[in-house]
Amino acid sequence: MILKNISVLYGNNLKFIESTNVKITNQYFEKISAKIKSKGKSIDCEDLLLLPGLINAHTHIGDSIGKDISLNSSVDSRIHPVSGMKQKILKETPKKELIRFMRKSMTSMIKKGITTFIDFREGGLEGVYLLKKALVGLPIRSIILGRIEYYQTRNEIIRNVCMPKLRQMELTTLLENCDGIGISGANENSNSNLRLYSKRKKLRAIHSAETIQSYTTSKKITKISEPKRALLSDPTFLVHMTFASKKDLIAASKTRGIVICPRANAALAEGIPDIDLMLKAKCNITIGTDNVMLNSPDLFREMDYLWKVTMGLNKKRMDPKKILRMCTVNAGRLVNKKIGCIKEGFLADCIFLDKKSLDLEPLNNPYAAVVHRASENSVKAVMIGGKIIHGKI
């Protein structure tokens, strides 16, 4: 397939090319050049802007059935991994209903240009299987980070109790059936547990410093900061780091990155991640929409919110391209896969935006247009692996 006369955000720096041709072969971008000769199927895309498929780097779509419940409750009463309302809903809802609503969230993501999502999957092996059942027939790419339902008490953390052998075997079985592990946090694990996770060879991610309460709890129990303890698990990446210090962020910069969830943090009235400080610490920043019960799985809204609130808080301008990279190029680097970038040799996962749509025309600044004007209504089509899976061109 050859896409002719199309505008493209190309390469690692999302360079804007006003008009070029794109050749797609066997699921991959083969060549991007104005000089490609038209052999085989070609489509004139003069009025379209091609950008990388968006990557939602942190979701909990299992709670899709619990949208906006307990809206005014505390963070722990809503989403605590042991005692939160979320856990009650997940246990009491019939599995078929959980699957049905997860499918709704994934379909919603596809329509909004999200071609890959990374899910922290609660519920042990059964939870992984439920998500896999929900994925059947849906073309969206998933990266499933499973979790065994094992959380340690304050006393066990103080005594540095290690995970029992039976639970370690459960973890091994879990990891044979998913892409990695999504650890709830340092405050539910002893140092021994966290070091045990570090020995697992698949992807490892962990929540850290999401709230000021979680940050201070770690110091009260262990006298060590939550991010410092989280790093004992040798994570591939960290999630949140909303209240991380400069020192914490410098240490975190040695991982593949940080996933921030600004709208979810705001919905919990817990603050906004300091991306300026993260960038100064040379962290690879990516974006996730987090729990569906808190937040819609919409990265267009996420980018718009983050860009404006960051400039409002810091009272200085920020290049919108940096925000767009967080949902594309940076996220591909986070998981070390050939996604999130329109470049030769990368998977042909991309979004076709209508440059003449009501909200985008005239397209004077493509980065600003995508970050704070684009929406589901601007999406002409979505492609995954070289196939149009939503809309048409």
Decide if 270 contacts 295 (C-beta within 8 A).
no
pLDDT in tens, 194-242: 999 999 999 999 999 999 999 999 999 999 999 999 999 999 999 999 9
- Whether 98 and 172 map to the same domain: the answer is yes
Q: What is the pLDDT of residue 347?
A: 98
| Residue 78: pLDDT band with limits 50, 70, 90 | low
**Owning domain of residue 365:** 2-53+341-391
- Whether 327 and 345 map to the same domain: the answer is no
Q: How far apart are CA 272 and CA 240, in angstroms?
A: 10
Is residue 276 packed enough to be buried (19+ CB in 10 Å), middle (13-18) or exposed (0-12)? middle
Decide if 151 contacts 82 (C-beta within 8 A).
yes
pLDDT in tens, 361-393: 999 999 999 999 999 999 999 999 999 999 999
- Whether 130 and 229 map to the same domain: the answer is yes
| Residue 89: pLDDT band with limits 50, 70, 90 | confident
| Residue 148: pLDDT band with limits 50, 70, 90 | very high
Check which CATH number belongs to the domain holding 350 and give it: 2.30.40.10
- Whether 154 and 301 map to the same domain: the answer is yes
Listed range (89-93, 183-187, 250-254, 327-331) with the worst mean pLDDT: 89-93
Q: How far apart are CA 48 and CA 120, in angstroms?
A: 34
Check which CATH number belongs to the domain holding 140 and give it: 3.20.20.140
Paired residues of 83 in beta bridges: none
- Whether 219 and 238 map to the same domain: the answer is yes
Q: Which residues, at least 6 apart from 143, have a Cβ–Cβ distance to it below 8 Å?
A: 116, 117, 118, 119, 179, 180, 203, 335
Task: For residue 355, give the nearest of 49, 15, 20, 18 by alpha carbon.
Answer: 49
SS3 29: strand
Q: How much is the average pLDDT of 312-319?
A: 96
- Whether 190 and 298 map to the same domain: the answer is yes
Decide if 33 contacts 19 (C-beta within 8 A).
no
pLDDT value at 278 more than 70: yes
- Whether 39 and 125 map to the same domain: the answer is no
- Whether 198 and 318 map to the same domain: the answer is yes
Domain boundary pick from 314, 335, 356: 335
Domain boundary pick from 335, 359, 375: 335
Q: Into how many domains does the chain fold? A: 2
Residue 113: both structure tokens together: 């240009």
Q: How far apart are CA 208 and CA 201, in angstroms?
A: 21
Q: How far apart are CA 382 and CA 109, in angstroms?
A: 11
SS (H, E, C) 40-105: CCEEECCCEEEEECEEEEEEEHHHHHHCCCCCCCCHHHHHCCCCCHHHHHHHHCCHHHHHHHHHHH
Q: What is the pLDDT of residue 36?
A: 87
Decide if 229 contacts 218 (C-beta within 8 A).
yes
Domain boundary pick from 335, 354, 371: 335
Task: Provide the residue type at 137 as one letter.
Answer: G
Task: For residue 337, give the nearest of 289, 301, 293, 385 by alpha carbon.
Answer: 385
Q: How far apart are CA 239 and CA 290, in angstroms?
A: 10
Task: Provide the residue type at 38 as one letter.
Answer: S
Residue 99: both structure tokens together: 């699957």
- Whether 281 and 186 map to the same domain: the answer is yes
| Residue 91: pLDDT band with limits 50, 70, 90 | confident
- Whether 26 and 70 map to the same domain: the answer is no
- Whether 354 and 229 map to the same domain: the answer is no
Decide if 72 contacts 34 (C-beta within 8 A).
no
pLDDT value at 84 more than 70: no
Task: For residue 56, give the nearest of 330, 331, 321 by alpha carbon.
Answer: 331
Q: Which residues, at least 6 apart from 298, have a Cβ–Cβ distance to it below 8 Å?
A: 108, 112, 289, 376
In this prediction the pTM is 0.95
Beta strands in 165-220 (DSSP E): 180-183, 203-208
- Whether 21 and 93 map to the same domain: the answer is no
Q: Which residues, at least 6 apart from 97, have a Cβ–Cβ distance to it below 8 Å?
A: 65
